[in-house]
Amino acid sequence: MSFNLQSSKKLFIFLGKSLFSLLEALILALLPKPRKNVAGEIVLITGAGSGMGRLLALRFARLGSVLVLWDINKKGNEETCKMAREAGATRVHAYTCDCSQKEEVYRVADQTYKAFLPAMIANDHGHLVCISSSAGLVGVNGLADYCASKFAAFGFAESVFLETFVQKQKGIKTTIVCPFFIKTGMFEGCTTGCPSLLPILEPEYAVGKIVEAILQEKMYLYMPKLLYFMMFLKSFLPLKTGLLIADYLGIFHAMNGFVDQKKKL
């Protein structure tokens, strides 16, 4: 009898909290979202020497952040550093670093997830941003290795978030970004079968959305918005229906025209 009462109490508490969280989310969705101030905050950007990394650096420079720029390309990274100062950043530090080599990362600044997360936990302050991909949400023909890495990145970031949540580290935020192809040159030649619904993204647009998601402390950012709906459909549609949708959107042949930049060199 006592066990049943405890189970019933636990169920009612769960239902009450769930209803409250849904109402809270609905109300917040209707209200203007506040943006946090990142002036003076240290922002570490990997791959800052070009592309998305450079654009992110310039955005945060205009917001008054202290920038730490990492890239294997010393010349490109120093150019970004110069551009960031011209954009208004007063403190910018550029380091040459191959982020694929653990020893390099520790040599440069001792700042990987493993190294800086304990400091964030100690101060209950920080924001972890993971740039995953739509290829980290669904498998893509011709992209098995890339999908594997992006699924791993998504899962790792989400797991770290849950660890901080369980430890009641409310000051540590996480944003996981999953964009479709972006026109940075990385996926040159790739196509979409339905540009109106699933467009290849402009870098400036994608960076603007990423920065906005960080400032609003948004957990998940999918670009374009169709991806939210697609993930919802994936959870319950029959496999054949899902494959038909993927075929209609051109996913099966998206990589057919891909130009490998490394082979071009």
pLDDT (tens digit, 9 = 90+) per residue, 114-147?
A: 767 888 889 999 999 999 999 999 999 999 999 9
Query: Contact at 8 Å (CB) between 88 and 61?
Result: yes
**CA-CA distance, 104 to 87, in Å (whole number)?**
29
Residue 238 dihedral angles phi and psi, to the nearest 5°: -60, 150
Residue 64 dihedral angles phi and psi, to the nearest 5°: 85, 20
Model confidence band, residue 26 (pLDDT cutoffs 50, 70, 90): confident
Closest by CA to 179, choosing from 204, 156, 160, 145, is: 204
Indicate the fold that domain 37-263 takes in CATH. Rossmann fold (3.40.50)
Q: Provide mean pLDDT across the span 48-70.
A: 95
E strand spans, the chain: 42-46, 66-71, 92-96, 126-131, 172-179, 220-223
Active centre residues (catalytic): 146
Residue-level pLDDT at 164: 93
Write down the mean pLDDT value for the chain. Answer: 90
81-118 pLDDT, tens per residue? 999 999 999 899 998 877 666 666 666 554 566 767 88
Largest CA distance in the chain: 74
Q: Are strands 126-131 and 42-46 parallel, antiparallel or unpaired?
A: unpaired
Residue 4 has pLDDT above 60, yes or no: yes
Q: Provide mean pLDDT across the span 213-239.
A: 96
Closest by CA to 212, choosing from 228, 201, 223, 196, is: 223
Angle between helix 144-166 and helix 113-123 axes, rounded to 10 deg: 20
**Between 193 and 265, whose confidence is greater?**
193
Residue-level pLDDT at 199: 96
Q: Provide mean pLDDT across the span 41-60.
A: 94
Q: Provide mean pLDDT across the span 179-201.
A: 93
Q: Provide mean pLDDT across the span 192-214.
A: 96
Q: Provide mean pLDDT across the span 37-66.
A: 94
Residue 236 has pLDDT above 70, yes or no: yes
**CA-CA distance, 174 to 158, in Å (whole number)?**
8
**CA-CA distance, 160 to 157, in Å (whole number)?**
5
Domain segments of the chain: what residues?
37-263
Model confidence band, residue 55 (pLDDT cutoffs 50, 70, 90): very high
Residue 199: asked if its preceding bond is cis (omega within 30°), the reply is no
> Per the structure block, which two tokens stand in for 93?
């530090």
**CA-CA distance, 265 to 260, in Å (whole number)?**
9
Residue 185 has pLDDT above 80, yes or no: yes
